[in-house]
Structure 1
Amino acid sequence: MKKNRAISLYAKIKILLALLCLSLALAIAVLAYYYISFSHMIDVHLSGELFQSESRIFTAPRKISVGELVTLEDIYRYLVTAGYSTQQEQNSPGWLKLKESAIEIYPSANSYFAGKNSLLIEFSGRRISRLRSLDTGNQLLSAEIEPELITTLFGTDRQKRRHLVYKEIPPLLVKAVLSAEDKRFFDHPGFDPIRILGAAWTDLRRGEKAQGASTITMQVARSFFFGTKRQWRRKIKETLMALLLEHRFSKEQIFELYANEIYLGNRGSFAIHGFGEAAQAYFGKDVRDLNLAQVCFLAGIIRAPNRYSFAERRPERAAEARDRVLFLMVENGFISGEEARAARQCELGIVSGTTGASFAGHFVDMVKDDLLDRFSEMELNSQGYNIYTTLDADLQKAAEAAVGWGLNNVDTQLAQKYAAWRKLGQQMVLPQAALVALNPHTGEIKALVGGRD
Structure 2
Amino acid sequence: MTDKATPKAAAKKAPAKKKPAARKPRATKKSSAKKAGPGWGRKLWSICWKLGLILVVVIASYGIYLDQIIARKFEGQKWHLPAQVFSRSMALYPGAAVSHGQLMAELKLLGYRKVANPRQVGEFSASKTKIDLWRRPFLHPQGDQVEQRVMITFDSNGVVSVARNSDKRQLAVFHLEPVLLDRIITGDGEDRLFVATDKLPKHLVEALILVEDRSFYEHHGVNPFAILRAAMVNISAGRTVQGGSTLTQQLAKNFFLSSERSLTRKIREALMAIIIDFRYEKNEILEAYLNEVYMGQDKARGVHGMGLASQFYFGRPIAELTVAQQAFLVAVIKGPSYYNPWRYPERAQDRRDLVLRLLMEAGELNNAQYQAAAESPLGLRKANRSVHQKLPAFFSVVKHELANRYGDALLQQSGIKVYTTLDPMAQEAAEKAVEQTLKQLGKNDESLQVGMVLTDKYSAGIAAMVGDKVPSYKGFNRAVEIRRPIGSLIKPFVYATALNQGDKYNLASPLKDQPITLKNGQGKTWSPQNVDKQFRGQVPLLTAFKKSMNVPTVNLGMAIGVSDVATTLDKAGWREKIPEYPSMLLGAVNGSPLMVAQVFQTIADDGRYRHLNSVTTVLNAQNQPLAASRPQASQAIPAASNFLVKYAMTQVVESGTAKRLGNNFPYVTLAGKTGTSNDSRDSWFAGFDERNVAAIWVGRDDNGKTGLYGSSGAMAVYQAFLNNRAPLSLRMAPVDGVVQGYFERNSGVAKQADCDGVVKVPALRESYQPVANCGEPLPWWKKMIGG
Partner of 1:123: 164
Distance 1:317 1:167 in 2: 31
Choose between structure 1 and 2: higher helix proportion.
1
Cα distance change on mapping 1:371 and 1:37 into 2, 3 Å? farther
Work out the CA distance in 1 between the residues paired with 2:336 and 2:410. 31
Give the number of aligned pairs. Answer: 389
SS at match of 1:200: helix
Query: In structure 2, what is the equivalent of residue 414 of structure 1?
Result: none
1:304 aligns with 2:342: no
Name the CA shift for 1:40/1:344 in 2 (closer, same or farther; >3 Å): same
Of 94, 115, 118 in structure 1, the residue corresponding to residue 144 of structure 2 is 94
- Asked if 1:289 corresponds to 2:320, the answer is yes
Q: Structure 1 residue 199: deviation in Å?
A: 0.5
- 1:80 and 2:98 aligned: no
* Whole-Å separation in 2 of the counterparts to 1:361 and 1:269: 17
- Answer yes or no: is the 8 Å Cα contact 1:161–1:273 preserved in 2: yes
| 1:382 to 2:398 alignment | no
Q: TM-score, normalised by structure 1?
A: 0.72
The residue that corresponds to 1:328 in the other structure is: 358
Cα distance in 2 for partners of 1:343, 1:170 equals 15
Which of these residues, 9, 15, 33, is aligned with residue 43 of structure 2? Answer: 15
Displacement after TM superposition at 1:325 (Å) = 1.6
Aligned partners of 1:162 and 1:277 also within 8 Å: yes
Which of the numbers 69, 91, 95 marks the counterpart of 1:41?
69
> Are the counterparts in 1 of residues 230 and 242 from structure 2 also a CA contact under 8 Å?
yes
Alpha-carbon RMSD across the aligned residues, in angstroms, is 4.1
- The Cα shift of 1:3 comes to 8.4
Q: Which moved more, 1:241-250 or 1:146-155?
A: 146-155
- Aligned in 2, Cα 1:66/1:201: closer, same or farther, shift over 3 Å? farther
State the identity %: 27
Q: Is the 8 A contact 1:392 1:447 kept in 2?
A: no
- Structure 1 window deviating more from structure 2 (232-241 vs 35-44): it is 35-44
| Alignment partners' CA distance in 1, 2:305 and 2:377 | 23
| Counterpart residue type for residue 37 of structure 1 | Y
1:272-305 deviation per Cα after TM superposition (whole angstroms, max 9, x unaligned)? 1111111111111110111111111111111211
Correspondent of 1:250 among 262, 281, 296: 281
Higher relative contact order (CA 8 A, sep 6+): 1
Aligned pairs (5 A) from 1:127-138 = 129-131=169-171
Q: 1:312 to 1:154 in 2, by over 3 A?
A: same
Contact 2:456 2:463 in 1 (8 A): no
Give structure 2 stretches of 5+ with no counterpart.
1-26, 104-117, 124-132, 152-161, 440-449, 475-787
Q: How does 1:386-397 map to 2 (within 5 A)?
A: 386-393=417-424
Distance 1:367 1:330 in 2: 52
| Whole-angstrom CA distance in 2 between matches of 1:184 and 1:225 | 23
What displacement does 1:169 show? 0.6
1:145/1:440 CA distance change after superposition, 3 Å? closer
SS in 2 for 1:253: helix
Q: Distance in 2 between matches of 1:360 and 1:17?
A: 70
C-alpha change, 1:339 and 1:53, in structure 2 (3 Å) is closer
TM-score when normalising by structure 2 = 0.44
Aligned to 1:278: 309
The answer for unaligned runs of 5 or more in structure 1 is: 85-91, 103-120, 132-139, 411-433
2:463 is aligned to 445
Per the alignment, residue 200 of structure 2 pairs with 169
Offset of residue 12 of structure 1 = 3.2
Residue type of the alignment partner of 2:67 = S
Whether contact under 8 Å (1:292, 1:343) holds in the other structure is: yes
**What is the CA-CA distance between 1:78 and the residue it aligns to?**
4.7
**Equivalent residue for 2:92, pick from 64, 74, 78:** 64
Instruction: State the partner residue of 2:382.
Output: 352
Q: 1:208-263: per-residue Cα shift (whole Å, max 9, x none)?
A: 12211111111111111111111111111011011111122111111111111111
> Residue 123 of structure 1 aligns to which amino acid in structure 2?
R
Find the counterpart in structure 1 of residue 691 from structure 2: none
Q: 1:326 to 1:382 in 2, by over 3 A?
A: same
Q: CA deviation at 1:392?
A: 3.0
Distance 1:344 1:187, change over 3 A: same
Quote the Cα distance in structure 2 between the aligned partners of 1:285 and 1:192: 36
